[in-house]
Structure 1
């Protein structure tokens, strides 16, 4: 019996209770958007978007916003709706994904020297990222360019960096640097966390992507880098919950109604996908996707 099957059998009654409670709550929420049949027809496909976005976010460390924002832009969501809805969906999907990575760490890497800095990196980067995000929100810091241009340029640059690193990593396997943690790493993560939090407040993505890239370039374990990016991202976006789930929220709740559960499913299976396929191939595929969407969005704004 596989470990997953054993875990399900061991906790099946808790899982049944959780699924039942979630179904009841979802049905109650859906009843607020009658007629329900029309709501399914108009927004049902957002569940697929949630699954895809969460798989991408939690298997590569890049936020699901690189999937959600281009789609929302094509659907003519306002800037506020795009960012708020992306944050809200990530609260679902990246929570599920971060829990699977944390359990993976506890079950397989708690005493692994290649993962020795996981908790320290995560706590430091999360605190700094949250500080950066709320500094930006409190001071109403605006993006230097329009949201569409900023997102497009960020996506293209991110994709190019990931491809360049993937090609380099395939030629030069990560070895000694994995174990060498420098004080400069903590200084770098402090700066990356704060600046990444500001960028995340603008684009709904940023801190997780930059963290993953930095840790991989430094030679740390790829899975450690992804897990750190995912956990830091979800802790950052959850601090926006009072805004995004409040009375004056800009979240498109019909889209969230379907994308949220889809993101939970995607977040739960993302880690297995990341472990099943080579990180290089996974990153090359999604890098090509985000470069393409970035170019398309940039072309539409020119």
Structure 2
């Protein structure tokens, strides 16, 4: 066993001991209400630490469909991301620290911090229906960008960004907007930051994904502190998810990321966003519409997405984004 693996096992053992120590305090809530959270945590943390989407993309739709208030789901997403994506960032750093675009993080963290303060403290959205609609609409838009980037066979040759005045302004503004959205729905800056890096600056996607994960982790800490001061934090939910999140953050996420590759991860990411959008659209009542119109629109969307997926999977693996950067250390020069 090498030094890195020993360190990871030591962290996992320490987390396990602390979790068991606090078990009597959360025993009733865990066994009666949240017994499923470790399993959900494995899935959510794996998604969060392999794709440019935070764990909220899994937690939010699942928890709200289990009758947990959307505002509580957002607060939970932030605190569990602070932990889980923090572990994931630590693991990625051990794997290859060159995957982090360190020069960008202070600027983007500053913009994101200002944004999340605005979103949580000054302009909060407390209406569950609006939160749900914002979440799924943003996700669907990002899905289409991913689909067409794959179909157009974009290449991503860049590894750095020159921090001149115009780039500083662009990065700061996008981080500010991402921070506001993160304050509202529990994630956002990671996905926006990823798309900015890849589609505007054509940065290696592996670097963009890992950097966005670390940025979302740091901003989730800020959001959690703000919720502790101004709102509340669902500690029982967080405690219940910790075992699964620890397993995925330290071990599973990077394992799957390296073996799936950046391109397949993006396809998986887009698929998850698409399924969630369709489920939410079919059940939502925020925008009034007749049942017939809802069915027609749903069939049109499904047909459109089916055509897109067929086009993607008809292309051979080697013909799609051959220059899409992977997570292997020797891919980052």
TM-score (normalizing by structure 2): 0.76
- Asked if residue 288 in structure 1 is aligned to residue 271 in structure 2, the reply is yes
Residue equivalent to 2:50: 59
Residue equivalent to 1:76: 67
Distance in 2 between residues matched to 1:99 and 1:83, nearest whole Å: 23
Comparing 135-144 and 64-73, the one that deviates more: 135-144
Distance in 2 between residues matched to 1:71 and 1:280, nearest whole Å: 26
Residue equivalent to 2:169: 187
Comparing 20-29 and 80-89, the one that deviates more: 20-29
Q: 1:133 to 1:21 in 2, by over 3 A?
A: same
Comparing 203-212 and 51-60, the one that deviates more: 51-60
Q: Calculate the aligned-residue CA RMSD, in Å.
A: 2.5
- Asked if residue 210 in structure 1 is aligned to residue 192 in structure 2, the reply is yes
C-alpha contact 1:54 1:266 (8 A) present in aligned 2: yes
Distance in 2 between residues matched to 1:273 and 1:245, nearest whole Å: 34
C-alpha contact 1:148 1:298 (8 A) present in aligned 2: no
Flag structure 2 segments of 5+ consecutive residues without an equivalent: 286-333
C-alpha contact 1:90 1:263 (8 A) present in aligned 2: no
TM-score (normalizing by structure 1): 0.83
CA positional deviation for 1:41:
5.9
- Asked if residue 274 in structure 1 is aligned to residue 272 in structure 2, the reply is no
- Quick one: which of 133, 149, 169 aligns to 1:165? 149
Correspondence 1:223-242 to 2 at 5 A: 223-242=206-225
Residue equivalent to 1:112: none
Q: 1:246 to 1:24 in 2, by over 3 A?
A: farther
Flag structure 1 segments of 5+ consecutive residues without an equivalent: 110-114
Q: 1:41 to 1:167 in 2, by over 3 A?
A: farther
Q: Which of structure 1's runs of 4+ aligned residues deviate more than 4 A?
A: 8-12, 177-180, 243-248
Q: 1:248 to 1:195 in 2, by over 3 A?
A: closer
Q: Secondary structure at the match of 2:2?
A: helix
CA positional deviation for 1:121:
1.3
